[in-house]
Amino acid sequence: MVTIKDVARLAGVSQATVSHVMNGTRNVLPATRKKVERVMLQTGYRPSAAARHLSGGATRMIGLIVSSIQLPLNALLYREIDRRLRPAGYSVWLRNVDEDPVLEATTLDQFIRHRIDGAVVISNGEHLPEHDALLRSGRPLVFVDRRPKGLDAPLVALDSAAAARRGTEHLLAHGHRRIALLTREINREPFTARARGYRTAMTKAGLAPRIIQVGSPTGRSRIEAAACIPKLLAEAEPPTALLVGSNAVTMGTLQGLHDCGGHCPRDLSLVCFDSSPWSEFVDPALTVLEHPVEAVAEAAVQALLEGLQAQTRKRLKRGHDNTQLFEARLIERASVAHLPC
């Protein structure tokens, strides 16, 4: 069996240099690195992950926490993040925490104990001691879509306030005045920002905002949204349009319309957050605020890799502006009726 000693001898370098190439623990001249990597490829040498772990070397493993894997957006983010980390030589350890802060804390603790090199977290939004522990260990931590308050770590997200404002303005431009926001709880991001953007657009138009909140975990928000729609349509002056704050709430809204015999856009026009692959195939096709998944994944991976490089140089920066926001794309389809002004 080929050993690290064999690789060093064939490459004409020390065993320490081979170790630095494998673990990224010190800068190695590009020509030397290529020579070592060529010998490893030719001999079929594969370093033991367990040995690297015990010696304090890089594990080449990135932890990825998603708040709920059943959401199409989170599945897409996982695919794009994994696709971008692979060429850099990293594997992704995916953990779904089902919007449970206790499970998120347990998972972060497992990441620390297994010495992952860094983590990307689509968090539940609660500041946990395990977040601080991961940062204290010197490992880079990047948040996607929401960052718990009080944490000094990069955030890469959709500009939810701007997106909600744009979606509301689109409905206003089509003659709608009774516009409600149907969303999950507005006391946490990104739903707080979506409510803020909606209020801004309605207030600017001289109209009273109306925010309807439905329950938090994803399954319950869908059920409560479905139950809400028949009640809305039965009102003396029901909304003519909804800005729908999440994918799960969109599914519940469509179910509610179906259950009560309502029709979109005849009875209710819809602009929906977080485009899903099926949104253009339902009848009518939905007008959506499409999440910039690829741009967000690219920025998250870039922030993580920069953190890993800084970790190697022992110069992780804190306390500077580390938030990147990306615009949604409004895709106009057939779910918005034009009302006469």
pLDDT digits (tens, 9 = 90+) for 88-115: 889 999 999 998 999 999 999 999 988 8
> In the prediction, which pLDDT does 42 show?
86
- How far apart CA 67 and CA 331 sit, in angstroms, is 26
Asked if 227 and 287 sit in the same domain, the reply is yes
> In the prediction, which pLDDT does 18 show?
85
- Dihedral pair phi/psi, residue 284, rounded to 5°: -80, 160
CATH number, residue 193: 3.40.50.2300
Q: Does residue 338 lie in a domain region?
A: no
Q: What average pLDDT does this structure show over 213-235?
A: 89
Q: What is the total count of domains within the chain?
A: 3
pLDDT tens across 269-306, in order?
999 998 888 999 999 999 999 999 999 999 999 999 99
The pairing of beta strand 61-66 with beta strand 91-96: parallel
* pTM of the shown model: 0.82
Q: What average pLDDT does this structure show over 24-34?
A: 78
> In the prediction, which pLDDT does 313 show?
47
Q: Does residue 337 lie in a domain region?
A: no
- How far apart CA 94 and CA 103 sit, in angstroms, is 13
Range of the domain at 45: 4-54
pLDDT bin (cut points 50, 70, 90) of residue 48 is low
Query: Quick check: 235 pLDDT over 60?
Result: yes
- How far apart CA 131 and CA 79 sit, in angstroms, is 24
**Token pair for 203:** 């207030």
CATH number, residue 40: 1.10.260.40
Q: Does residue 83 lie in a domain region?
A: yes
Asked if residue 68 lies in contact with residue 98, where contact means CB atoms within 8 angstroms, the answer is yes
> In the prediction, which pLDDT does 70 show?
85
Asked if 171 and 231 sit in the same domain, the reply is yes
> In the prediction, which pLDDT does 290 show?
97
- How far apart CA 36 and CA 18 sit, in angstroms, is 7
DSSP state of 67: S
Where is average pLDDT lowest: 27-31, 147-151, 165-169, 186-190? 27-31
Asked if residue 321 lies in contact with residue 270, where contact means CB atoms within 8 angstroms, the answer is no
Question: What's at 15, amino acid-wise?
Answer: Q
- Secondary structure class of 334 (helix, strand, coil): coil
pLDDT bin (cut points 50, 70, 90) of residue 23 is low
